[in-house]
């Protein structure tokens, strides 16, 4: 067993991977995979809280794996797998559900938000989603979990469940801590900089996707919302649109915000938006090309996710056996 600390994270294949997925998560995963024992998952089981087209879900799952690799994740350095291929997640979720209070789940803000958007399908999976997320994390005895603002509440619940279980049965689970990366932009919608760039946002031009062509990327940035005036200056309160574009440009080029302000002083918004679009298009070009190439070799991708699932099942199976023993289940 490795002496490295363990990190777990995953993204749903409920839509195409976006610019925010790369800058806010996957780019950091690449750096972490060299320092930690990493499990990076395509969480297809979470995706079905909203009805999915089976063929589309299957396609996006494979494409997401290809894009993970194209972004720089090395299958030899980390476990890349599909959530449903490790049944221990679902098994552990049932156990943890018996140690999660109904009131705790009622307080989850994401349930309130998602159920208001899916009034025709407010299913129990949407309600118990955080328990499965807790199982995802605790199955690997994860020390650290990269989280954005929208997942902090779920991680707090995961910690509460682990501590409750440990209080009854001893030190069964590692209580995970949030991992806040040193770099990691929170990318907002290009149409509404008060909202996070989202796969579920159907507004044209609001999001940029990893597989977008350079032409589509440039169109999106040229139409991006800016603010009054013409000064390129970082000010989230007064200039949320420009500040979002500056965050994106910084993530794409590595330039800090003050250097960006100096570079575009007196240039105006039109010039700046074109520059951001060009930087993003160049950043995504090798990812798009590599992912498209990988999708031509489905056997290679199958080998990767099967290998990842074996490694994931070995680790999560060890945790599940320990949990079952504590509960008093008869060993099979």
Catalytic site residues?
Answer: 114, 196, 199
Cα gap 113→153, rounded to integer Å: 13
> DSSP states of 196-259 as a string?
B--TT--STTS--BTT--HHHHHHHHHT----SSS----BTTTBHHHHHHHHHHHHHH---HHH
Strand 144-146 and strand 177-179: the pairing is parallel
Bridge partners (DSSP) listed for residue 196 = 188
Closest CA to 288 of 231, 211, 221, 236: 211
Determine the angle formed by the axes of helices 269-294 and 54-70, rounding to 10 degrees. 100
- DSSP 8-state class, residue 100: S
Non-local (6+) Cβ contacts of 126 within 8 A are 49, 50, 111, 114, 115, 118
CA distance readout (Å), 277 to 112, 255, 256, 270: 35, 15, 17, 11
> DSSP states of 8-70 as a string?
EEEE--SS--BHHHIIIIIHHHHHHTTTSEEEEEE-HHHHTTS---HHHHHHHHHHHHHHHHH
The answer to whether 230 and 269 have CB atoms below 8 angstroms apart is yes
Helix (H) / strand (E) containing 122? none
């Amino acid at each position: 067993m490795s002496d490295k600390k363990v990190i777990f994270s995953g993204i749903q294949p409920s839509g195409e991977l976006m610019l925010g997925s790369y800058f806010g998560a996957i780019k950091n995963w690449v750096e972490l995979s060299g320092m930690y024992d990493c499990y990076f998952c395509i969480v297809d089981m979470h995706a079905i809280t909203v009805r999915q087209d089976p063929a589309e879900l299957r396609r996006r799952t494979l494409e997401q794996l290809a894009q993970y690799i194209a972004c720089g994740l090395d299958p030899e350095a980390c476990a890349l797998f599909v959530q449903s291929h490790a049944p221990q997640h679902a098994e552990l979720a049932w156990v943890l559900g018996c140690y999660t209070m109904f009131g705790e789940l009622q307080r989850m803000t994401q349930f309130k938000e998602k159920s208001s958007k899916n009034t025709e399908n407010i299913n129990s999976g949407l309600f118990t989603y955080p328990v499965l997320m807790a199982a995802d994390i605790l199955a690997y005895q994860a020390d650290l979990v990269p989280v954005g603002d929208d997942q902090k509440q779920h991680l707090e619940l995961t910690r509460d469940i682990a501590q409750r279980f440990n209080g009854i049965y001893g030190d069964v689970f590692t209580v995970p801590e949030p991992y806040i990366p040193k770099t990691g932009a929170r990318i907002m919608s290009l149409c509404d900089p008060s909202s996070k760039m989202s796969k579920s946002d159907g507004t044209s031009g609001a999001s940029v996707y990893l597989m977008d062509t350079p032409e589509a990327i440039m169109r999106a940035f040229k139409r991006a919302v800016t603010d009054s005036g013409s000064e390129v200056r970082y000010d989230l309160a007064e200039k949320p649109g420009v500040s979002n574009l500056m965050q994106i440009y910084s993530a794409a080029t590595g330039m800090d915000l003050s250097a960006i302000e100096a570079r575009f002083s007196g240039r105006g918004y039109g010039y700046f938006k074109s520059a951001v679009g060009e930087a993003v298009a160049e950043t995504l070009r090798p990812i798009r090309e590599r992912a498209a190439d990988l999708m031509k070799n489905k056997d290679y991708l199958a080998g990767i996710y099967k290998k990842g699932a074996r490694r994931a099942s070995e680790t999560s199976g060890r945790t599940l056996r320990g949990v079952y023993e504590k509960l008093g289940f008869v060993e099979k």
